[in-house]
Amino acid sequence: MTPAPGPTRRTLADGRHIFYFDDAGTTHTRTARDLRELPSATIESQMRYDVLTGEWITMASHRMTRTHLPTTAECPLCPTTLAGAPTEIPEANYDVAVFENRFPSFAPAQDELLSANRFGPDDRRAVGHCEVMCFSSDHTASVGELPAERLRTIVGAWISRTEELSADPSVEQVFCFENRGEEIGVTLTHPHGQIYAYPYVTPRTQAILAQADKHFQSTGRSLLADVLAFERQDGARVVYAGEHWSAYVPAAARWPIEIHLAPHRDIPDLPSLNTEEREELAYVYQDLLRRIDSFYPGIDRVPYIAAWHQAPIRIDRHLGRLHLQLFSILRAPGKLKYLAGSESAMGAWISDTVPEAVATRLRELA
């Protein structure tokens, strides 16, 4: 695999950074400037500690004013052209572009504000990073339909941004993900994902780490590795078996369609992938997206969330293991899986599907 060039870093009008990742074999000169008149961003998100659950809740009221379902002509993620208004991406074309979110839940530390005791004793400023990752300059594209070389660029961008964000001492966990579909809550239909760099370890990760620690204390082995080994041996829920990766429907799947994709090696995060693993990932990731889009006859684009679970940077890192959680809230054509009373209030999940039947359907779509 020919390596893609490293990112080109530029600065937007309000001081935010943008990174261009080009497909291997392409050459672009990134000279366009952001000519918008934008005020410097002032982000004052705060985190409040929920003493009932032990979780941090982020208050980001400025996000109420973020762009919501603009027309194609007003899309802020399309490239800037002479015929249209300037967008978040100054260049007239791009392959993959990553930029700091204009309406972030978490923002880099501002020293002059950190010293101010503005919140209660259990509150903190929401220090971290939120980035937007555009997968294509084509407004109507879908990741499952992109050229194979673009998937390699996307994997490289995930790795590059995870490496840089993990080096920030205020960051505890990096989360790369894509929300696709208005049913999920997407406010921009342009093909894009996001990267969050949290100042704490997230609740789901904490729950997984707690279970992994119990398993390690009793067996001396990795819980996530043992789950993968069991699924590969059993085979009933496996939907992809490759040289370096396997994908399966989890035995206790919560969502109508849910797939876990895991590397065969015990590695903590995306930057730990070797060349062969990255190459196969670019293939299998797109393959799984295509299967989800074909799951329901008559529906071309099924709403989904693609979520990369990476080990925390410092806390219990040895217990974490890289894996992708890919799922859809669509339980049937025109019917969504709503998190109603049991799920929302009690955290007690009721599944509408049987994992083995979902796995059978996904295998049929290979």
**Side-chain-side CA neighbours of residue 102 (13 Å):** 16
Whether 192 is catalytic is: yes
Q: Residue 163 in 3-state DSSP?
A: helix
Percent helix / strand / coil, the chain, rounded to 5: 30, 25, 50
**Angle of helix 148-166 relative to helix 275-293, nearest 10 degrees?**
120
Tell me how far apart the terminal alpha carbons of the chain are, to the nearest angstrom: 24
Four-CA torsion 292, 143, 179, 63, nearest 10 degrees: -170
**Distance in angstroms (rounded) separating the CA atoms of residues 210 and 194:** 27
Among 129, 190, 192, 215, the one annotated catalytic? 192
Helix (H) or strand (E) holding 254: none
Question: Across the strands, what pairs with 260?
Answer: 248, 325
**Distance in angstroms (rounded) separating the CA atoms of residues 266 and 167:** 22
Which residue from 168, 195, 175, 160 is spatially nearest to 271, judged by alpha carbons? 160
Task: Confirm if 322 and 267 have CB atoms less than 8 A apart.
Answer: yes
> How many C-beta neighbours within 10 Å does residue 350 have?
10
Phi, psi at 219, each rounded to 5°: -125, -20
What tokens does 308 get?
């990369």
Q: What is the DSSP letter of 6?
A: P
Active site residues: 192
